[in-house]
Amino acid sequence: MPATVDDDSTASSSAASVERLRQLAWLIDNAFRLPGTRFRFGLNSIIGLLPVGGDAVLGVISLYIVYEATKLGLPRSKIKRMLTNISIEVIGGSVPIVGDLLDMALQANVRNLAIIDEHVAGQR
């Protein structure tokens, strides 16, 4: 059955959405590199230094990615995995110093983007 204009515009819209989420996840989790190493970190590591409020703000941003994933049609099981990643990062991130290291290591937004990518690739 040939693709319709609506199918093409929906696919284009989904691709644009995934690309925006990719840029957001990269900015939050991987935007900077520690000189002389392969170690990457993002705004998450900087904003997360603010006691309590920083992790709350980052949690809201991460939930936006989940919201967009639901609009892309991800099944509940994948949404649940994404929410688990966020929960671990937000709860763990609230522990001073150790939590910031956990944020850098876990990179929940990049992991969640991989879940979105897996889903979108499976639809093609």
3-state SS assignment for residue 51? coil
Domain that holds residue 100: 5-123
pLDDT in the model for residue 1: 47
Q: Are 66 and 21 in contact (CB under 8 A)?
A: no
pLDDT in the model for residue 119: 94
pLDDT tens for each residue of 67-80: 999 999 999 999 99
- Between CA 65 and CA 7 the distance in angstroms is 23
pLDDT tens for each residue of 23-66: 999 999 999 998 999 888 899 888 887 776 888 898 999 999 99
Count: domains in the chain: 1
DSSP structure string for 67-84: HHHHHTT--HHHHHHHHH
Q: Are 55 and 99 in contact (CB under 8 A)?
A: yes
pLDDT in the model for residue 8: 63
Whole-structure pTM value? 0.84
More confident residue, 24 or 98: 24
Residues with Cβ within 8 Å of 38's Cβ and at least 6 positions away in sequence, in order, are: none
